[in-house]
Structure 1
Amino acid sequence: MSEHVPTVYIVDDDPGVVRALVRLVKAHGYQAVGFGDAWAFLDARAADPGPACVMLDLQMPGMDGIALQRRLDGELPVIFVTGHADVPSTILAMLAGATDFLLKPVQEDALLASLERACRCAVARHLEHEEMAGLRERLERLTPREREVMAWVVTGRLNKQVASELGTVEKTIKAHRASVMRKLEVGSLAELVRMADKLGLPAVAAARTPHRAGAGAGA
C-alpha cells in the first residue's frame, strides 16, 4: 500500500543528530524529514496529514518534547530519543502514550525495532482515521427522520415496532429503513449496528422523544 507509507519526522535541536537520524532512517527504506524545533515540525505536519510517526528529543528550546507530545494528543506515535532522560520525564512520556523512550547514543537495532513498531501503529491509526471519516461522511447523507429511524432500528426492533414508537405506519418505516441501509452502504442489520457502535451513536437516545401510536400518522 504505497499510498500508506508513513513519514518519519525527526525533531531535535541538534542539527548533527537530525542529519544522522535522517540518513539512518532513509538507509532502511523509510521516508524521513528532519526539523530543528517543534514549531517547524507542526507547520509541516499541518500541510501533510498522511500516516506518520515522530522521533522526538526531550529537551528543546521553545516547546520541549513533552509539550509537543501533549500538543499532538495521540495523533502520531512518538519515539523519544534523548540524552537527557530522567525518571519523571520518562513516566510522563510513557503515560502519554510514547511508543518508546530511547537514550542517546541509541543502538541502531533498538532504534529500528522501535521505528518498525511505530510505523505499523502509524499506518493503523491512519487507516482508522480514514475509515471514521468515511463513516461520518455517509452518516451526513441521512435526513433527520432517517437518523431517528436508524436510532430505533439498531435496537433490534421490528419495522412495525418502530412505526408504533414514532407514530407512523410500518410501510413508511420500511421505506426509511431501506433508504438508511442504501445511503450508509450496509447490507445487514449487524453491519448497521457495528457502524453505529464505531461512530459512538446511541440507539434510542439519538432519536427525538418518540410519539406513541395514535399520536399522529405523519412521517
Structure 2
Amino acid sequence: MPTQTFRSKPVATSHSTVFVVDDDPEFRESVSLLLESVKLKAHVFVSAEDFVANYDRRRGGCLVSDVRMPGMSGLELQKWMLDNEIKLPIILVTGHAEVPMAVEAMRAGAVDFIQKPYSPQQLLERVQQALRQDEQRREEEREDEGTQNLLATLTPREREIMDLLLDGGTSQRIGNRLNLSTKTVDFHRRNMLDKMGVDSIVELAKIVGRRV
C-alpha cells in the first residue's frame, strides 16, 4: 500500500507550536505524528488542567483541543484562555452531538471546529490557517509595541502638537491655539516626525492608527 503524503503550506515562523489537548492517548499520538510528518512542532497535554498548569504564554502557535474531556472541557478551557488574555487560535474537535457547543465556541472566538471523523488533510489545513493567523497577530503586536516605544520619546509639547496635527490642524491654527509662533510649531513638528521615523503626517497617521 503506497504511503500517503500530506500537503503543507509553509508557516510564517519555525517557532510556532501546535498545542494538542486531549485525554485520549491514541488521539494525541496520531495528531502528533501527523504534525511531525509535515515538520510542525507538537506539544501534547493530557488534559485542559495540564495545559493550564504548564503553558508558557510567550510561545506562539495554536491549540487543538477536544470539546468533551473529563474535568475541564474544551469550552471551559477556551473561557479560561479568554479570561487570561491568551490569544492562541483554537481549533475544537467535536463529535456529532457536540456541534451546538462548537458553534457556541465559535461565537466566543474559536477559529474553527472539526467534526469527527475528519481527514488528516482537513486538520492540517485548519492548523496552518490558525498558525498564520497567530503569526500575523504577533507581528501586529510587535509593531504596536514599537510604535508605543517611539511615542514615549516625544516631549509633552511634541505629543500635543502631534495630536492636533492628526486632527487636521495647520501650523497656524495650532500656533494660535497654543499661543506659539508658526515657526515654533514647525520646529516641534519636525522633531516629532524625526523621532517617529516618518516624513509626513500621512505616514504618521498610518503607524498610530489615525485618519487625517
TM beyond 0.5: yes
- Moved beyond 4 Å, runs of 4+: none
Distance, in Å, in 2 between the alignment partners of 1:51 and 1:60 is: 24
Aligned residues: 199
Instruction: Give the equivalent residue in structure 1 for 2:64.
Output: 55
Q: CA RMSD in A?
A: 2.4
SS at match of 2:93: strand
CA contact (8 A) 1:149 1:173 kept: yes
Relative to the length of structure 2, the TM-score reads 0.82
Residue identity opposite 1:126 in structure 2: R
**1:154, 1:189 within 8 Å by CA — same for their partners in 2?**
yes
Kept in 2, the 8 Å contact 1:78–1:99? The answer is: yes
1:119 aligns with 2:128: no
3-state SS in 1 of match to 2:19: strand
Greater mean deviation of Cα atoms: 79-88 or 63-72: 79-88
Quick one: which amino acid aligns to residue 13 of structure 1?
D
Residue 150 of structure 1 and its aligned partner are, at CA, apart by 0.8
Identity %: 34
Query: CA 1:154/1:33 → structure 2, altered by over 3 Å: closer, same or farther?
Result: same
Match in the other structure for 1:139:
151
Question: Where does residue 206 of structure 1 map in the other structure?
Answer: none
Match of 2:48 among 33, 38, 47: 38
Aligned pairs (5 A) from 1:82-93: 82-83=94-95, 85-93=97-105
> What's the secondary structure of 1:102's corresponding residue?
strand
TM-score normalised by length of structure 1: 0.80
Say whether 1:16 aligns with 2:10.
no
Contact 1:51–1:123 (8 Å) recurs in 2? yes
**Aligned equivalents of 1:30 and 1:145: distance in 2?**
50
Hey, what does 2:4 align to over in structure 1? none
Q: Give the gaps of 5 or more residues in structure 1.
A: 204-219
Cα contact 2:11–2:131 (8 A) shared by 1: no
Name stretches of at least 5 consecutive residues in structure 2 with no aligned partner. 1-9
Residue from 32, 52, 64 that aligns with 2:73: 64
Superposition map of 1:1-219 within 5 A: 4-5=13-14, 6-45=16-55, 47-73=56-82, 75-83=87-95, 85-197=97-209
Q: Is the 8 A contact 1:38 1:68 kept in 2?
A: yes
Q: Distance in 2 between matches of 1:169 and 1:32?
A: 62
Task: Give the residue type in structure 2 aligned to 1:23.
Answer: L
Whether the 8 Å CA contact 2:62–2:130 is kept in 1: the answer is yes
* Equivalent-residue separation in structure 1 for 2:195 and 2:31 (angstroms): 47
